[in-house]
Amino acid sequence: MKLTTINIQGNIFTSEILEKIRQDDISFQKPQDFGLKPSELVRDEINNAWSLLNTHWQIFKQKRSSFSEIDKGVSETRKYWIIPLLNLLGYQVALSNAEIVNGKSYAISHRASNKDGFPMHIVGSEQSMDKKAENGPRLSPHSLVQEYINSTEYIYGFVTNGNYFRVLRDATRLSRLSYLEFNLEQMMEEGHYSEFAIFYRLLHASRINDKKEDGKDATLEYYHNEALASGSRIRERLSMAVENSIVTLANGLLSQQENTELRNAFETGKLSAKDYYLHILRSVYRILFLLVIEERNLIYKENLTEDEKKLKDIYYQYYSIQRLTFLVNKAIYIDPKKTDLWQSLMTTFRLFEDRSYGKELGIDALSSGIFNQNAIKSIESTTLNNRDVLNVFKSLVTFENENRQIIRVNYADLDVEEFGSVYEGLLEFEPVVENDVFRFKQGDARSSSGSHYTPEELVKPLITHSLDYIIAEKLKEVDPEKSLLSITVCDVACGSGHILLSAARRIGFELARIRSNEDQPTPTVLRVAIRDVIKNCIYGVDLNPLAVELCKVALWLEAHDPGEPLNFLDHHIKNGNAILGLAHYEELQNGIASEAFKALPDDEKTIASAFKKRNDEERKSQMSELFDLNTVNEDFVDVQKSINQFNQMPENTSEQIEKKTKAYEDLNNGKKWFRLKQLANLQVAQFFIPKITENKEKLTTHSKYKTYLNSGTQILDRGASMAIAEQKKFFHWFLEFPEVFQQGGFDCILGNPPFLGGQKLTGNYGTNFLEYLKHTYRPIGAVDLVTYFFRRIFDVIKTNGFQSLISTNTIAQGSAREGGLDVISSSNGVINHAIRSMKWPGQAAVEVSLITIHKGEWKNQFILDNKSVDRITSYLDDSEVMGKPMPLKSNSGKSFQGSIVLGKGFILTPAEALALIKKDSRNKEILFPYLNGDDLNNNPTQEPSRWVINFFDWSEEKARSYPDCFDIVERLVKPERLIQKDKGGKEKWWQFLRPRKELYATISELDLVMVLTRVSKYVVVEIVNKRQVFMEKIVVKTFKDPFYFGVLQSNIYNEWAWKYSSTLGSGTINYSPSVCFDTFPFPVKNDDEILNNFILDFYYLRKDLMKKSQMGLTKLYNQIHNQKLKAIKDYNIEDTLFIKDYGKESMYLKKHLKKNSHLEFNEAVSAIENLRQFQIKIDTEILALYHWSDIELRHDFYQVEYLPESDRIRFSIHPDARKEILSRLLKLNKKIHSTEDLKHKLPNSKGIMNVNDLPTLF
């Protein structure tokens, strides 16, 4: 259904929800929901109201016709029209006095006395709702209500002048200014009864709660939330539909008989699949853009003359995109073989490409970007049959909802960022054209870069804690308008531009307030302000050129002003790799790094070694010689002057856009700019040019580079570096945005940089890319891609600037922290805001961190997890800054990682192992149980589920003497090993890749060892038989005394382990002995055997409970940390009530025990409570050994901030105790490290725990 008198702005409601309301296809539309009897019909009430209102309208019209020129008609509008209307909706309307809120006066004219004073502001029919009256109130009527509901508990409010009726919503809860408007005059004059029915069903008094504090439970708010949810559903379905439309359009053009030239272009190589896809995508972007501005009535300006109105009617009737969309439902009347619809579409495109076409209809060309005359070059002279055209439009403007109903997309009320989320999915595809058929294959354009669409819930905190501070400072300056427009904001992985849109809206809102002198500027004023902000303040970079196109479209859509061309954005939104290139002009002096000539797998080692040696010598011999930057400095100054002149060029007409486009091309092709780019490329390219014989003349060493830089001579070996630069998309910030770096860098960089680590990083970008990053961002190792982004971004923000970014939580852990946040903190970076773990909206398994960093001294609040703290460290906590813990010699040789086997053929089932032993008893000498993490954590008995063949460090000859097992390994392991890169693994393929000889030698005299799993939900230590092979995911501790089991099982050690280990996902510890065991300061043990016995009692109780309950360690500890676990009185309680009172985890326990154990539920509860008491005792006793009994542990259930939102309740020590203990442990670590006093050394690990110490375990 097309809405004629209803205008939706922003994301307050959607047309889909309004249509459901009209059709009575949504909740709260029954008679009793309106306060009627079940036997009464809502439809009858609407009919009666419509009839009465027509009478009121006629009376009001008659009164209005007698108004004088200066009469605003306030009393008549209220008395004869709006108050009767509101009464019919069930509101008891009463006059209202002005209310003072936060020192400001709000003169809301009326309120609903039966709805707790619900605000409804009624002005005269001759008064604009968007303009302040001369010598009147400080705000326009719209702004008055908007600011009032923003400042009070009311979520909604009404404002009307009788001609238009608006529903406003608290804008602090929305991502942009939003309202719903009904054109009452048109509704009544043209008799739009069906839209009045929507008005009635949506805004009846029963839709508003009786108490304002219950507003979130109101029916109106329910519809708003349903609208948001339906928007999400629309995005999902529309994304698929858009993909179909692109494939249909691309294949339709290729298969059209007349398009021989297009097919020949592919055959001759003149046209690639990527370029063709780009042109197809731009065509769809054009359709999308025109649909939006048509439906938002932004083709022509307001207040048209009669002649201009006629031109507008001609456009909408004969040339509009809307006209083509309406033909989708009339396809039966259209000849499918003809091509007139395609010709019509191309004609419409030309209206906006070329002013000479559009001027006849009063349309000025949009000119820039997607409407550049060469934007769809490969398809502009093609033709396409009507059937395919209509199918394309059908996919673009309709979709099937969950009830299999065909829904038309209302582009007018679809948010710009929603377009982004729809189209961003297309960026993951790789286009292919084979045999004149276009198709998509799953590519890696976005997924391999690790980047994703960013929901608004994550964007708001980023802006609040960075950009808002900048805006506040700019508003204090003498010329706040000029100051606001001087702000520079960038997103270095901008994607569809959502984050940049939010930033533009935020700055634009303040700019509009300044210009209008109103706290709530009108949509028109706001749109113009946002356009100016986009022109002056907004910058973006993305590795994917299609993302760059999409970002530009989103920005154009947000700020299009009727009659204006599209902003020129090529100089602000750019394609490139943001972390691959030079940041500042001064870096040209760095010359050629010797690390660039490090031999990599595809290099010739002799060539690489020779060039590295030469470069080392050149750098060493020229260390005392300075670079002469006079020539390049003059060039750079000239480039800056040119860009400043360019930025002053106007862009208000299509002619001005054309001149600006040409000027920018000339700027980029200028000799001085181009030479600077060549010099920058030379530095970076040496890392990527293969060091092979045929490239010897293409490589540049330090001395030659210095000559180029100092003398200004022609760069002879630039060809290879320029080619590599184009392929890898080097991005030199000082050249791409010279006007920004004249000011020292960006004010604010916001974003969601890509997450990509480990083998994915080198797999997608190559080893040379990683080597470049490790050199450029030293000191740093191989870490997640996001860490390098953090470092680069800090390089390109100015002093007192901000970076506010989304990251994985590993950013604050291990080597990523050391190479990222630690380096930034030591370089005058201050973390002023962080959220340690936050669920990605709609993706329960994804947890992220939000981090804001200020460059320079910070004098404002520190906000950690939405709480004010004294500081935020690089660990994302508020502890005292004392550096990282150091390894202690006293802990050396006490902790080992298990064996890395590498070869599935080594591993056997228990039955296979026993069969081999039965066949030849000698095989038991080389067959061992193989303990893995799953066995340890999830098997109640902790018996290994696999066995393994172990030839130790034997020779091949000795291994062959066990033929049964050797044959298995030779057949199944050898082929796998021979294709591995590890030299030792190839040569000694019959042995484990990493046998861990030291581990097994150390435990050779033992019967029992302590073990824990490296990757686990909990840090839980277990005691097992030593005669087995331990998988690499198992960490083995070699202690004799059960005392150390108690220490390692205490909360004191648990907190240390979580603090200094990394995580896999936010809720799983990746236990790293080197940072959380080797550094741990153990307490000095006394001779009290009571503690040892107590620790053993704890162990036995836990072991016994695991056996009786048939639960592994992880499931058992889930119950230990289950806050709702308690004894039950009624075993027959229904499941739903049980879950309500005891929780889902308790329900799991109840069902598990019933199915797998003879243990009663309450018996299990009692045992678990006993374990908690044992834990309290162990913690208390261990703490006393440190002589820290002054710390109150206060065991209870607490939220642990570093764990994921969905699972962070733990039975643990108080957060204050945790903080103090960690601080003291770190100080103790420093003290022991400096002295390594003998009294702190642990006992020798030889001859440790004897099986007789624990006689009943095995």
Neighbouring residues of 1014: CB distance < 8 A, sequence distance ≥ 6: 897, 933, 1032, 1033, 1034, 1035, 1070, 1071, 1072
Q: Please say whether the beta carbons of 1204 and 1210 come within 8 A.
A: no
Calpha distance 54→63 (Å, rounded) = 14
Which two tokens mark 1081? 């300061």
Residues in the chain, overall count: 1258
Quick one: pLDDT band at residue 664, thresholds 50, 70, 90? very high
Residue 1119 burial (C-beta neighbours within 10 Å; 0-12, 13-18, 19+): buried
The average confidence (pLDDT) of the chain is 90
Mean pLDDT, range 201-212, rounded to an integer: 94
The predicted model gives 610-634 an average pLDDT of 83
557/413 Cα distance (integer angstroms): 12
Most confident segment among 394-408, 631-645, 730-744, 1240-1254? 730-744
Structure tokens at 60: 């009001």
pLDDT at 742 over 90: yes
The secondary element (H helix, E strand) that includes residue 986 is helix 983-987
One-letter amino acid of 71: D
Residue labelled with tokens 């709660």 = 209
Structural contact between residues 451 and 753, judged by C-beta atoms closer than 8 angstroms? yes
pLDDT at 1245: 40
Q: Is the pLDDT of residue 569 over 90?
A: yes
| φ, ψ (nearest 5 deg) of residue 430 | -110, 120
Cα–Cα distances in angstroms (integers) from residue 87 to residues 82, 187, 199, 205, 587, in the given order: 8, 18, 14, 9, 72
Number of other residues whose CB lies within 10 A of the CB of residue 113: 13
The answer to whether the beta carbons of residues 1029 and 951 sit under 8 Å apart is no
Which structure tokens are listed for 207? 């839709």
Nearest one of 95, 93, 97 to 112, comparing CA atoms? 93
Neighbours of 1243 (CB within 10 A): 14
The predicted model gives 637-661 an average pLDDT of 91
- pLDDT tens readout for residues 235-244: 666 777 788 8
Give residue 309's pLDDT. 92
Tokens of 975: 């082929």
Above 70 in pLDDT, residue 730?
A: yes
Q: What is the pLDDT of residues 480-508, one digit of tens each?
A: 999 999 999 999 999 889 999 999 999 99
Q: What is the DSSP code (8-state) at residue 1031?
A: B
Encoding tokens for residue 401? 């909802």
Residue 1249 pLDDT > 50 = no
Distance from C-alpha of 429 to C-alpha of 426, rounded to nearest angstrom: 6
Q: What does the pLDDT read at residue 1066?
A: 66
Report residue 724 as tokens: 């590599």
418, 455 Cβ separation under 8 angstroms: no
Amino acid present at 259: N
Contact status, residue 13 vs residue 203, Cβ threshold 8 Å: no
Alpha-carbon gap, residue 388 to 335, rounded angstroms? 11
> Distance between CA atoms of 598 and 772, rounded to whole angstroms?
10
What is the four-CA torsion angle of 629, 630, 634, 635, rounded to 10 degrees? -40
**Rounded Cα gap, residues 436 and 432, in angstroms:** 10
Pair 1080, 1056: CB distance under 8 Å: yes
Query: What's the start-to-end Cα distance of the chain, in Å?
Result: 75
Q: Which residue did the predictor score with more confidence, 602 or 1248?
A: 602
Other beta carbons less than 10 A from residue 1108's beta carbon? 16
Specify the pLDDT at position 559.
Answer: 86
pLDDT digits (tens, 9 = 90+) for 972-1030: 999 999 988 788 889 999 999 999 999 999 999 889 999 999 999 999 999 999 999 99
Digit-coded pLDDT (tens) for 1051-1094 = 999 999 999 998 876 689 999 999 999 999 999 988 778 889 99
Whether 268 has a pLDDT exceeding 90, the answer reads yes
Predicted pLDDT of residue 1250: 41
Burial 72-87 (b: 16+ CB within 10 A, else e): bbbebbbebbbbbbbe
CA 105 to chain centre: 40
The Cα–Cα gap between 530 and 246 comes to 31
**What was the pLDDT predicted at 757?**
67
* Ordered domains of the chain (ranges, CATH): 6-217 (no CATH), 229-442 (no CATH), 451-566+747-864 (3.40.50.150), 582-730 (no CATH), 889-1033 (no CATH), 1052-1253 (no CATH)
pLDDT at residue number 840: 81
Whether the CB-CB separation of 855 and 799 falls below 8 Å is answered with yes
Determine the Cα angle at 944 with ends 938 and 949, to 5°.
145
CA 755 to chain centre: 9
1069, containing H or E segment: strand 1069-1070
Amino acid at 696: K
Q: Residue 894: is its pLDDT beyond 50?
A: yes
| pLDDT, position 384 | 97
CB neighbours (10 Å) of residue 1244?
11
404-423 per-position pLDDT tens digit: 767 777 777 667 766 666 66
Question: Does the structure show a pLDDT above 70 at 952?
Answer: yes
pLDDT tens digits for range 549-560: 889 999 998 888
Label residue 1253 by pLDDT band (50, 70, 90). very low
> Is residue 362 over pLDDT 70?
yes
The answer to whether the CB of 212 falls within 8 A of the CB of 148 is: no
Q: Which of 816, 819, 807, 810 is nearest to 850 (CA)?
A: 807
Q: C-alpha distances in angstroms, 430 versus 444, 447, 496, 567, 898?
A: 8, 12, 17, 29, 42
Count other Cβ atoms within 10 Å, centred on residue 872: 28
Query: In whole angstroms, what is the distance from residue 548 CA to residue 578 CA?
Result: 13
Q: How many CB atoms lie within 10 A of CB 370?
A: 23
Rg, Å, the chain Cα set: 36
DSSP state, residue 690: -
Helix (H, G, I), strand (E, B) or coil at 954: coil
Beta-carbon contacts of residue 915 (< 8 Å; ≥ 6 apart): none
Whole-angstrom CA distances from 943 to 946, 1007, 1025 are: 9, 16, 10
269-280 residue pLDDT tens: 999 999 999 999
What are residue 390's phi and psi, to 5 degrees?
Answer: -65, -35
Taking the CA atoms of 1157, 1159, 1162 and 1168 in sequence, report the sign of the dihedral they define.
negative
Single-letter amino acid code for the residue at 580: L
- 36 by Cβ neighbours in 10 Å (0-12 / 13-18 / 19+) ranks as middle
